[in-house]
């Protein structure tokens, strides 16, 4: 399967609000690219790693469970670990938060082992406009659900983007599952 797989209600509204509140109190870093490079033309977002948030240990437990379920149901990839912490991203209309077309697999040591990407929609869709997560597994562009608490999973080699946020703020949670090279 190359497309998106959606797990509705992966996080409750209260879980989403709690995680956004934790992230909002943290110092957010400028979102970078593989290798630590930053380029506001490609990505404009504030980030915080879940490992750096107090009282957020429950997030990784939930995320690993979601990945296991989706991998059984839709992908069947050889996954071995989670070598990176989950990250919370804030895309804000004040700076036209976005992330242009990219794949999550890259030349970095960890990025080269990414196999499955999971993105959880933390914001209420009424809180912002723009900011649509789109994937392009083939010649068609598919828009992900904007329903709060939904988890969207796709192979890490699939091109995807977040369109510019035009009003409000979009919060999301992302994690990558790692494993041996595709063959």
Model pLDDT, residue 36: 59
Q: From CA 48, how far away is CA 64, in angstroms rounded?
A: 19
Tell me the average pLDDT across 155-183: 96
What per-residue confidence (pLDDT) applies to 107?
82
Whether 46 contacts 25, CB under 8 Å = no
| 106 confidence band (pLDDT: 50, 70, 90) | confident
Please give the model's pTM, rounded to 2 decimal places: 0.93
Residue 29: band (very low, low, confident or very high) from pLDDT cuts 50, 70, 90:
confident
Which residues, in sequence order, are bridge partners of residue 116?
A: 155, 177
């Amino acid at each position: 399967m190359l497309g998106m797989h959606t797990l509705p209600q992966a996080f409750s509204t209260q879980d989403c609000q709690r995680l956004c509140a934790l992230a909002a109190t943290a110092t957010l870093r400028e979102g970078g690219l593989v290798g630590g490079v930053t380029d506001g033309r490609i990505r404009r977002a504030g980030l915080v790693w879940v490992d750096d948030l107090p009282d957020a240990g429950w997030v990784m437990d939930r995320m690993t469970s979601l990945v296991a379920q989706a991998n059984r149901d839709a992908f069947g990839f050889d996954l071995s670990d989670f070598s990176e912490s989950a990250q919370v991203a804030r895309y804000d209309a004040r700076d036209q938060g976005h992330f242009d077309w990219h794949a999550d697999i890259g030349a970095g040591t960890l990025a080269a082992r990414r196999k499955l990407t999971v993105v959880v929609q933390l914001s209420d869709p009424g809180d912002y406009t723009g900011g649509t997560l789109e994937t392009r597994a083939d010649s068609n562009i598919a828009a992900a659900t904007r329903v709060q608490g939904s988890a969207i999973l796709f192979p890490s080699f699939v091109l995807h983007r977040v369109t510019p946020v035009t009003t409000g703020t979009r919060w999301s949670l992302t994690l990558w599952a790692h494993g041996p090279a595709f063959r």
